[in-house]
Amino acid sequence: MANPLIIETPGRGLVDVTGRVRALVRSCRVDEGVAVVFLHHTSASLLIGENADPDVPVDTVGWFDRLVTDGDRHFTHTAEGPDDMSAHIRSILTGVSLSIPVRGGDLDLGTWQGIFVFEHRYRPHRRRVSVTVIAGVSG
């Protein structure tokens, strides 16, 4: 399978990538270990969040919009637009790397956990997300 994944984002918001990451993990045929999911950018990020109610992603994006103000007057890095420096800070707060256990050759997520790319820029982007699977043992 293609790795890294190329995730097309529609602009700011959360994109559920659980299914695509899961397919890559299964194709690795590692029974037990860890999958490391990594996003190769500084103005988007990765998170594990609730996968059931579509209101949760909306509330999440809205909360970060209020926490990290676009075009904050304190910012000096402004040449790439009002959503660029705020994007870098949101990326730092949420992170670009996830380590998820693998059991029985599949992602061992909780019932309500999904994997999301968090696009922080206003415009659509193509984001590279790579998946590496490592064999390990559980105690």
Q: Check binding of 101 to a copy of itself (CB under 8 A).
A: yes
CA atoms of 109 and 86, how far apart (whole Å): 30
Among 63, 71, 123, 124, binds a copy of itself (CB under 8 A): 63
Under the phi-then-psi rule, with left for phi > 0, alpha for psi from -120 to 50, and beta for the rest, what region is 109? beta
Q: Check binding of 125 to a copy of itself (CB under 8 A).
A: no
Binders of a copy of itself: how many residues, by CB under 8 A?
70
Query: Is the CB of 4 or the CB of 122 nearer to a copy of itself?
Result: 4
3-class DSSP state of 48: strand
Q: Check binding of 106 to a copy of itself (CB under 8 A).
A: no
Q: Check binding of 73 to a copy of itself (CB under 8 A).
A: no
Q: In what order do the strands lie in the sheet with 113-119?
A: 13-16, 113-119, 44-50
With beta carbons less than 8 A apart as the criterion, state whether 88 and 42 touch. yes
Query: Is the CB of 50 or the CB of 122 nearer to a copy of itself?
Result: 50
Distances from the Cα of 131 to the Cα of 43, 88, 107, angstroms? 19, 22, 12
CA atoms of 62 and 66, how far apart (whole Å): 6
Q: Check binding of 112 to a copy of itself (CB under 8 A).
A: yes
Q: Check binding of 68 to a copy of itself (CB under 8 A).
A: yes
Which residues contribute to the site for a copy of itself (CB under 8 A)? 1, 3, 23-25, 27-28, 30, 32-34, 36, 38-43, 47-50, 53, 55-56, 58-60, 62-63, 66-68, 72, 74-77, 85, 88-89, 91-102, 108-113, 128, 130-139
